[in-house]
Structure 1
Amino acid sequence: MTSNTIRVLLIDDDRNYFTLTSRMLARTQQDFEVEWVDSYDAALQKLRDGQHQVYLIDYHLGERSGLDLLRAAVLEGITAPMIVMTGQGEHDVDMQAIKAGAADYVDKTELKPALLQRAIRYALERNRFIKAVYEGEERYRNLLEEASDGIIITDSGGNLILVNARAREMLGYSVLASKERQNGTLTVGAHMRDLIHASDIGGMLDSGLTSDHVILAERTLRRADGSSLEVEVSGRITGDDRRQFIIRDVSQRRQMAAEREKYIQQLTVLRQVDDELSQMLNVEYVLS
């Protein structure tokens, strides 16, 4: 076996198909190493072990079907490419296989070496593409999650898709949950209006967002405990028609501005007092 050899597991209760499949793949220009199991339980264990690059699953596996095996593998989080092998006239099975998570399907009655090789190659390429997309989304989500600004993303209807750690901290929520809301949690699919103070719902949701430019405004959000949070919001529509809001807490900035104004007022008063004292001292000096 070389580094370019593709390891294939055939799952079929008929040994004759193992012999046939091995011979077909041996006639292609690609190096294949083909192994075989003939039962549901043995196949599921092999899938868990993950020692093969692609799995050819016959629809007929005794008491349970290849679709049952496919669904069980998907439920366990197995992402390796699986190709379901059906018989003539089983078009409904083909469609069910794709919906259940199969990378492809082939008709056993029409198998030829080039066709089988192409199905395996496409399944592997599709699997690599899906992994790359998933990893890219994970990196994107991680960047959003770790951002120093609060970030909220909704769908076009205003339903929550993502609320990052900083936004949850600002709003007093512990997690963004995918299940029913509990105390201290937000739920994926909850509406953006749940986070906006009643006095500002119209201004936030009907702010005229477009994909051409960013809208910047100050708004009032509602924390988990019902208190208000003054924020600066920049919002835009992303390329996939989602709404992205970046929020910054301006309450501290306003507090600092108020303290600065108070300090300036105090300095003004002190300056006035100093001027008055200076005038009094000047008058006393003249009189003396």
Structure 2
Amino acid sequence: MEKLNQVKVLLVEDDEDDYLLTVDYLEQIPNYQFDVTWLCDYQSVLDLLAKKHFDLCFLDYQLGTHTGLSILKVAKSLKLSTTFMMLTGQSDENLDAQALAFGADDFLLKSEINSPRFVRAILYALSRRDLESERLERFKAEAESRAKDRFMAHLSHELRTPLTSIIGYTQLLRENQQHSTIKPELDIIHNNSEHLLNLLNDVLDLSKINASSLSLEKENTALGPLIADLQSVFSMEAAKKGIALNIITKGDLPKTINTDAKRLKQILINLVYNAIKFTPKGKVDVVFELLKQNTQYHLKVSVIDTGIGIANDKLTQIFKPFEQIQDTITRTKEGAGLGLAISAALVKLFGGEINVQSQLGEGSTFSFSIHLGEHIDTCQPLDLALNQKTQTPTLAPTLSGNVLIVEDLPEIQTLLNNIISSTGACVTCANNGREAVDLLSSQQQQFDIVFMDLHMPEMGGKEAIIALRERNIHSPIIALTAAAQKDNIDTLLALGFDDIITKPINTELLYQSLQKHLENTPSKTSNAATSNFANRSEKCILVVEDDKNARDLMCLLLQSLDCEVLGVGSYGECVELLKHDSQFDTICLDLNLSDGSGLSLASIIREHNCDANLVIVSGSEPPAEQLAEHQIEHVILKPVSLNDLKNVI
């Protein structure tokens, strides 16, 4: 039996015969069931309209001391979605015009209630209501989607910014041999930070997939290194669990394929990660083979494990977001349950689908294929051993040049300063786009490369790059952003940025940008380095700094370099000390002491016939002519790093 459309009707009528007649004809309209409420009192009508929703309201014009128009006027002020139709006993063009002006959707004569026009008017009114409801729902959905996109963009930025500091500083600490005793703890911090970053990326990917805004970016990709990367990424994880990880190629494979390597690798990593996670013993095989169907080539991948398996009734559930394989047995494994959902959606973008076969207690096989087209590269056996990458730490290159960091967050500014200073480059910092524009426009100092954040007070990175390019300043400027979507990257390149580095900062990419724009300087041999280090035990250093925390930190850093260090907290203390002892190899002078200037103190030091190497420590670069006047060759910009001190002593 066909389901009837339910329509709630309010009939405002003071004549019972007209009420019965109207209800009778409403019941004759096919496919609709009308639930009619009958009222004739002015105030009762308004009270009910305010409390209860009605799809349709018939208003009699004459209602004792009131009219249907007065009800209509008040009802429309309530912003109701009800469709209003005026009913009157006589034709009146002025009344018709008034009713429509007050917001009525139609105007009918009571004599037309038994005519086809009455039925058509109601059906048209209901159709208009349905169309308007659909339009409002669509508008609401679009507004919610836009709000969600804005929220996800904001969330990405807010989460990536602290992760930049956590991951960056942890990397610095891990690479410092002085912290070798706490390396396991630092590894835990680093690994969990990377886990948070991957989870954030998964959530953003899922959001883009749901919004149908994720697309593939295909390019020619070497297949061998892509496959070999799996061994590099997961061999240690598999070894920890005592299971074998086998990468198998069936037959010949093309040397290169046209695909989105990033997304293909994402699918592979998700599937292999799950396979290892849910395999307590045995092995995981990852099998690659080339298939041909008619004239089309496909790359098929199968991930086969000997793990815990999946129950048949759960096989479709595991591809839903936030559903996890371990729900079939236990909740002892970590994860948000996004990997398989994202992988399935990505495989669909490639034009295929993931298939799964599994048996509880015996293992699972996940397989998928991607379309390669009619033409492929020459096929040959792939020697994965030749493509195997060795995991080596990222070492800072030895470079020289001037670098400007434009970043408003002190912790990110300090992190970038530390990383870049470790290469030997001279670093200057600006707190916002306005400062950067002023610095670069003044031409007082030339910068070989600029790293610029996008979201800053006073002037953001986008506004700054436009202002700089309009002034014909062509310095290489690299954007630092938490938003890595292709459309955002294209926009930034179009604005004039030379490249983009996403947050959290990838140290290797940062070094690559520096090497591209700065000069390489010969690095010291290991023997020379050892010799210099041994000589540092003879160095005697004086630190003049009025901030106790900064002074103590500099003394600790210098002591770690086997220097004999003495620290004083003021201009006056330094002058008094020099009366008794001026035999220092290096003197580090704060530029702005509480009781005097570091530059004027430099003159006093020279008057005591002290030929120490003078180093100004400052938050900004002092004028070159003042440095020359006081015979100062070295400047360290705060915050001071260990590498800064190595370079000046």
2:108 to 103, 106, 109: 106
Aligned AA for 2:121? A
SS at match of 2:462: strand
Uncovered stretches (5+) of structure 1, i.e. residues with no partner: 151-163, 170-220, 234-245, 282-288
Report matched runs for 1:24-103 at 5 Å. 24-26=25-27, 28-29=29-30, 31-50=33-52, 52-103=54-105
The match for 2:290 is none
2:127 is aligned, of 122, 125, 128, to 125
SS at match of 1:19: helix
Deviation at 1:51, TM superposition (A): 5.7
TM-score, normalising length from structure 2? 0.25
In structure 2, what is the equivalent of residue 154 of structure 1? none
> Following TM superposition, by how much is the alpha carbon of 1:79 offset from its aligned partner in structure 2, in angstroms?
0.7
Larger Rg: 2
- TM alignment of 1:1-288, pairs within 5 A: 3-4=4-5, 6-26=7-27, 28-29=29-30, 31-50=33-52, 52-148=54-150, 227-230=459-462, 253=500, 261-262=513-514, 268-269=520-521, 272-274=522-524
Deviation at 1:130, TM superposition (A): 0.3
Task: State the Cα deviation string for residues 54-106 of structure 1 (Å, max 9, x = none).
Answer: 21112233343323322322322321222122343432333343344333221
Give the CA deviation at 1:33: 4.4
Distance in 2, matches of 1:90 and 1:44, equals 25
| Structure 1 counterpart SS, 2:149 | coil
Aligned sequence identity (%):
22
- Work out the CA distance in 2 between the residues paired with 1:55 and 1:143: 34
Contact 1:12 1:38 in 2 (8 A): yes
Change (3 A) 1:117 1:135: same
Matched position secondary structure for 2:69 = helix
**Which protein has greater RCO, CA pairs closer than 8 Å, 6+ apart?**
1
Paired residues of 2:12 and 2:39 also in contact (CA < 8 A): yes
1:165 CA drift (Å): 7.5
Give how far 1:132 is off: 0.3
| Residue 274 to residue 117, structure 1, CA distance change in 2 (3 Å) | same
Taking structure 1 as the reference length, the TM-score comes to 0.51
CA contact (8 A) 2:13 2:19 kept: yes
In 1, Cα distance between equivalents of 2:114 and 2:154 = 53
Shift of 1:139: 0.7
**CA deviation after TM superposition for structure 1 residue 121, in Å:** 1.9
Distance 2:13 2:81 in 1: 20
Structure-1 separation of matches of 2:517 and 2:151? 33
Residue type of the partner of 1:13?
D
How far is the alpha carbon of 1:142 from its aligned partner?
1.3
Length, aligned pairs only: 198
CA distance in 1, matches of 2:125, 2:44: 22
Cα 1:23–1:91 change in 2 (3 A) is same
Q: Deviation of residue 267 (structure 1)? A: 7.3
Q: Distance in 1 between matches of 2:128 and 2:52?
A: 18
Cα RMSD of the aligned pairs, angstroms, is 4.6
**1-side partners of 2:85 and 2:91: how far apart?**
17
Instruction: Determine the C-alpha separation between the residues in 2 that align with 1:229 and 1:96.
Output: 57
